[in-house]
Amino acid sequence: IVILLTCFSGLIGRSWAMVFASGGFSVKLYDNQPGQAAKALTEIRKQLEELEEGHMLRGELTAAQQFALLSSYDDLAQALEGCFFVQECVFEQLEVKQNIFQDIEQLVGKDVILSSSTSCLVPSNVFSKVQNRSRCLVSHPVNPPYHVKLVELVPHPETVRTIMDTTHAIMTKVGQAPVCLKKEIDGFAVNRVQAAIIAESWRLVRDGIISVKDIDLVMSEGLGMRYAFIGPMETMHLNAPKGLEDYMQRYGEGIMRVLTSFGPVPDFFSEGSKSIFNEMCELIPTDQQHLAARKEKRDQLLMGLAKLKKDH
């Protein structure tokens, strides 16, 4: 079985390659820049070996066995030979995605699933140049996909149920946690929820209610502690003696009162935003050394959390 990644060899593409290989699939990486896919393999080998050394390698196969499942291509037609699932991971530019799927459709059979990793472009736009849209969907991962298992499956209005079911089964087999949206919507589910958190966090800092450091602690040492294991609906269900309906009877009016006090969508580009930018940069400077160190720490913590969740 072969899965193709059309990836331009970026971070998401490399992560997807590692995820699919961990599930035992043969993975063919394609990049339209000569040599880039081969270069990505070199980086993947290093990451797999480091993960194995740290006992954090996913799947039942060794790092060497997983790496043996990977191959790189500079020619799209060669890369597509024998594939049954295409996961596109190019940058977030609509026309580029539209054109590459138009090219792919000319080179694959009618049963091959066409999937995009887009985080903000709805399927009806991404696949507008594809003739057979019944086999198209978005599979939006959360960065970094290797450590954060959630993937949103978003159907095109013409996507048939069997394509959603097959993709759900594939994602489950490789150890991801797929969720199916019933129809497309701007921002999907993850980014809509995230946008709501960002907006209110921004307003609270902007209005002088709390600092950047402390609003992050509200999540990392408060809400995020339980949200790492249960979601907001179950949280409410467990926080009242008789479940969700009881919770709303007790707290619903207060929640509605607070929601009506929310201000309009913040202007993230206003002059006043500079103070928020500066406050964040004082905590974590934007030079590559500081950012890279913080990202590495983030990934180490995510690996530890992933292991804890797996063991429980």
Instruction: Look at residue 8 in the predicted model and tell me its pLDDT.
Output: 52
β-pair type (150-155, 136-141): antiparallel
Instruction: Look at residue 203 in the predicted model and tell me its pLDDT.
Output: 97
Query: CA 66, CA 27: separation in Å to the nearest integer?
Result: 10
Q: Which two tokens stand for residue 35?
A: 């040599």
The mean pLDDT value for 256-285 works out to: 96
For 189-309, which CATH class?
mainly alpha
Cis, bond preceding 264 (omega within 30 deg of 0): no
308: left (phi over 0), alpha (psi -120 to 50) or beta: alpha
Note the residue count of the chain. Answer: 312
Query: CA 131, CA 110: separation in Å to the nearest integer?
Result: 10
Q: Which residues pair with 177 in a beta bridge?
A: 150
Query: CA 158, CA 137: separation in Å to the nearest integer?
Result: 9
Place of tokens 């048939």: 160
Q: Where in the chain are the domains?
A: 6-180, 189-309
What's the Cα-to-Cα distance from 178 to each of 25, 29, 106, 140, rounded to whole Å? 18, 22, 29, 9
Q: Which two tokens stand for residue 33?
A: 């820049």
Q: Which two tokens stand for residue 190?
A: 């993850």
Please check the confidence at residue 204 and state whether its pLDDT lies above 60: yes
Place of tokens 């080998």: 45
The mean pLDDT value for 231-257 works out to: 97
Which pLDDT band holds residue 307 (cuts at 50, 70, 90)? confident
Chain segment 3-27, per-residue pLDDT in tens: 666 555 578 889 999 999 999 999 9
Using DSSP, state whether 113 is helix, strand or coil.
strand
Please check the confidence at residue 126 and state whether its pLDDT lies above 80: yes
Instruction: Give the chain's mean pLDDT.
Output: 94
Instruction: Look at residue 86 in the predicted model and tell me its pLDDT.
Output: 95
Alpha helices in the chain (DSSP H): 11-22, 36-53, 63-67, 76-80, 94-105, 123-126, 161-173, 190-206, 212-218, 224-227, 232-238, 244-260, 273-283, 288-311
Using DSSP, state whether 311 is helix, strand or coil.
helix
Instruction: Look at residue 258 in the predicted model and tell me its pLDDT.
Output: 97
Query: CA 173, CA 149: separation in Å to the nearest integer?
Result: 12
What's the Cα-to-Cα distance from 93 to each of 81, 90, 211, rounded to whole Å? 26, 8, 34
Q: Confirm or reject CATH 3.30.2350.10 for domain 6-180, answering yes or no.
A: no
* Contact (Cβ atoms closer than 8 angstroms) between residue 73 and residue 40: no
Using DSSP, state whether 149 is helix, strand or coil.
coil
Instruction: Look at residue 2 in the predicted model and tell me its pLDDT.
Output: 64
- Find the farthest-apart pair of alpha carbons in the chain and give their distance in angstroms, rounded: 62
Place of tokens 């993850």: 190
Place of tokens 């797999």: 48
Chain segment 40-68, per-residue pLDDT in tens: 999 999 999 999 998 889 999 999 999 99
Instruction: Look at residue 6 in the predicted model and tell me its pLDDT.
Output: 57
